[in-house]
Structure 1
Amino acid sequence: MRVPFIKMHGLGNDFVVLDARVEALPPLGAAMAAALADRRTGIGCDQLIILEPSDQADFRMRIFNPDGGEVEACGNASRAVALLHGRAARVETAGGEITVEPTGRGARIDMGEPRFEWDAIPLAYAVDTAAMPVAWEGLANPVAVNVGNPHAVFFVPDLEAVPLDRLGPEIEHDALFPERVNVNVAQVTGPASITLKVWERGAGLTRACGTGACATTVAAIRRGLLAERQAQVTLPGGTLDIEWGDDGRIMMTGPAAESFRGSFDWGDFV
C-alpha cells in the first residue's frame, strides 16, 4: 500500500503530513509514528501530522511526537496545515478546536484561551501557577500555562547561559508534571519582543515551537513584562507574532512552507 505524504515546516519545525480526509488510513500506533519520524531510517520530522474527517469541525488534526506519543496541540503544524488546506477552517485537535486562515506565505491561527488552573496544566498538586515555588539549578519560579498542551515558562537574564539541552529533559519528566511538560526559557529583550528556546515534550530541542511562543507571551503579559498584550517572539528558526486579545483568545501569525512530496510503502513501517 503506497501512501502519499507532504513534508512541511514552520520556521524549521518540520512535519510529515498524511492526509486521510478522503481515503482512510489503517490504524497507526506509537511504534509506526516513531518509525516514520526517524531521521535515519524513516522520512524524518519533528512531528507526524494526520488529517482526518471530523463531526464537529471542518477536519481533525492528530499530532504525534518523534517518540510516538500523541499530543494535543502544535502551533507550527497548524500554520502548515492552514497553508495546505488553502482557506479558512475550523480544526478539531485533542487540545480543543482552533481556527486557521492562510495569509500568503503563512497563516494566522486562533489558538483559543489559555488555562492557568493547576489541574488544567496539569500539575501533581495545587500551586500558584503565576510563579511556581520550584527550581532546577538556575531555573526558578516558572509560569505554568496550558495552551492546548502544558508549558512551563522560565524568564532569564541571559538565554544563552542556560543549558536547556541538559535541564530540559529533567524538567519535562519531573513528577510535578504528570503528563510531562514543554520547557520554555525566555529572555524579554524589549517592550514587545522576546527571545525564546523550547525543549519540546517528546521531541527535545526544536527550531521553533508555536504553542511555546503563545505560552511565553501570555506568561510575560501575566508577569507584567511587556508594554502591551502582544509580542514578536524570536526562536532559533525565526519570528512569530503573538497577540493575547482582550477577549482572552491567543492569535498567532507566522510563516509556513511546503518542502516536498513523496510516498512510502505502509508495510515497511508496520
Structure 2
Amino acid sequence: MLNLSNQITYKRVFAELFLTKIGFTKLSATGNDFILIDNRQKIMFGNEYDLIRKICSRRTGIGADGVLLIEESVENDFKMRYYNADGFEAEMCGNGARACAYYSDKNGIARSQMTFEVSGAHYSAHVDGAFISLLMQKPENLNLHPAALESTDFQEGGYLVLGVPHYVLFADRIQEIDVEKVGSYYCEHPEFKPRKTNVNFVSQQNGKIQIRTFERGVNEETLSCGTGTVSSAIILNMVRKKTYPMDFETAGGPLRVDFDVTSGRYLLQGTVTEVYTGSFQMENFS
C-alpha cells in the first residue's frame, strides 16, 4: 500500500503527464494509417486503452486504424508496440512495422537496415526512401481446412497466424462483398474463438490479385493490411500454386510479397508516407 508521501508524488506525476503535450506523427502505410508516438522517454505507460480509443476516433479524435509506440530495446534498434483502434494491444502489425521503420530511419533512431522487436519476436527491415521492405516471421498454426465457411459465395483458403490470426477466403467478385458484414461474422466465428481473427477476401482476375480485409480490433475494413496480404500470399502459394513474388492491389495501393530463400521467411514491400505531425494533451480526451 502506498504511503501518503508516495500517493502525493504519484498524483503530482500523473497531473503533470495529464497536462503534457504529447507529440505524434500521422503515417500512412498503403492506406493503413497510424498515430506514431516516440515513447523512448516513457511518455505513455501502454495501458491508456480509453485514451487510445478516443484519439483513434475519426469523428472526435485524430483518427487512425491504430497507435504505434516506439520504445527502447536492449538487443535491437527499437521496440514496437501496436494498439488497434479498439484500444487493445495486438501482437503484430505488418504495415505498422513498416511505418515504424520509415520513421526510425528518417529520425535517426536506426539506420536504413535495421532490426526491431515486436511482442518478443525479432524483425528486420530495409528502408529505401519511402519504400520499405519488412522481413516477417514464419507462419504458425497453419490450417488449410478450418471448416468455418458457411457460404457458397466463397472458397475457403485457410487459416494461419503471422503474429496475428488470419482467415483467407477466395472470391470472384471482390468489389461486391459486404466486407464489414461478412468479415465481422467470421471474425467472431466459434471456430476462431477466443482469439477471433482477421478476415481476408482475395480475388484473382485477369492476372491481378485483389485483396480486401476486415481487421480484428479495428472492427471494420481497412484500406490495406500487411500481415493479411502476406498470409494471403502464403495461402495462394500453397492452395493455388501461385509463385513469388506476388503483387497485390489494395484499396490503399500496391503491396508486394516475396519469399526470402536464405531465411525461409517472407518479405512485405510497399510505401509509407508521412501525413503530418502534431501534438495533443491527455486532458482533451478525458
Which one of the candidate residues 21, 24, 30 is aligned to 2:42?
Answer: 24
Which one of the candidate residues 219, 230, 236 is aligned to 2:245?
Answer: 230
**One-letter code of the match for 2:224?**
A
Separation in 2 of the partners of 1:237 and 1:26? 30
Which one of the candidate residues 72, 97, 100 is aligned to 2:122?
Answer: 97
Q: Could you tell me how far 1:116 is from its partner in structure 2?
A: 3.3
**One-letter code of the match for 1:91?**
F
Q: Could you tell me how far 1:76 is from its partner in structure 2?
A: 1.2
> What corresponds to 2:57 in structure 1?
38
Q: Secondary structure at the match of 1:34?
A: helix
Deviations 1:2-30 (A, max 9, x none): 11000100111110000012x21142321
Q: How many residues align?
A: 256
State whether residues 33 and 66 of structure 1, in contact with CA within 8 Å, keep that contact through their aligned partners in structure 2: yes
Deviations 1:135-191 (A, max 9, x none): 132334231111111000011222123222211111111222121101000012366
> What corresponds to 1:136 in structure 2?
150
* 1:83 matched to 2:111: no
106-115 or 136-145, larger mean C-alpha shift: 136-145
Deviations 1:239-267 (A, max 9, x none): 11101233420101100010110111123
State whether residues 229 and 245 of structure 1, in contact with CA within 8 Å, keep that contact through their aligned partners in structure 2: no
Q: Could you tell me how far 1:72 is from its partner in structure 2?
A: 1.2
Identity %: 27
Deviations 1:83-132 (A, max 9, x none): 11112221111272211121112211001211234xxxxxxxxxxx1132
- Pairwise CA RMSD: 1.6
Instruction: Output the TM-score relative to the length of structure 1.
Output: 0.89
Gaps of 5+ in 1: 118-128
> What corresponds to 1:124 in structure 2?
none
Q: Could you tell me how far 1:229 is from its partner in structure 2?
A: 2.6
* 1:149 matched to 2:164: yes
Which one of the candidate residues 224, 227, 233 is aligned to 1:208?
Answer: 224
State whether residues 73 and 95 of structure 1, in contact with CA within 8 Å, keep that contact through their aligned partners in structure 2: no
Q: Could you tell me how far 1:235 is from its partner in structure 2?
A: 0.6
Separation in 2 of the partners of 1:53 and 1:190? 46
TM superposition outliers: structure 1 runs of 4+ over 6 Å: none
Instruction: Output the TM-score relative to the length of structure 2.
Output: 0.85
**One-letter code of the match for 1:89?**
M
State whether residues 95 and 148 of structure 1, in contact with CA within 8 Å, keep that contact through their aligned partners in structure 2: no
Which one of the candidate residues 26, 30, 41 is aligned to 1:11?
Answer: 30
58-67 or 157-166, larger mean C-alpha shift: 157-166
Name the structure where helix makes up a greater proportion of residues. Answer: 2
State whether residues 136 and 167 of structure 1, in contact with CA within 8 Å, keep that contact through their aligned partners in structure 2: no
Separation in 1 of the partners of 2:38 and 2:199? 30
Q: Could you tell me how far 1:195 is from its partner in structure 2?
A: 0.6
Gaps of 5+ in 2: 1-19, 106-111
Q: Could you tell me how far 1:56 is from its partner in structure 2?
A: 3.0
> What corresponds to 1:122 in structure 2?
none
Separation in 2 of the partners of 1:109 and 1:26? 26
* 1:115 matched to 2:130: no
> What corresponds to 1:252 in structure 2?
268
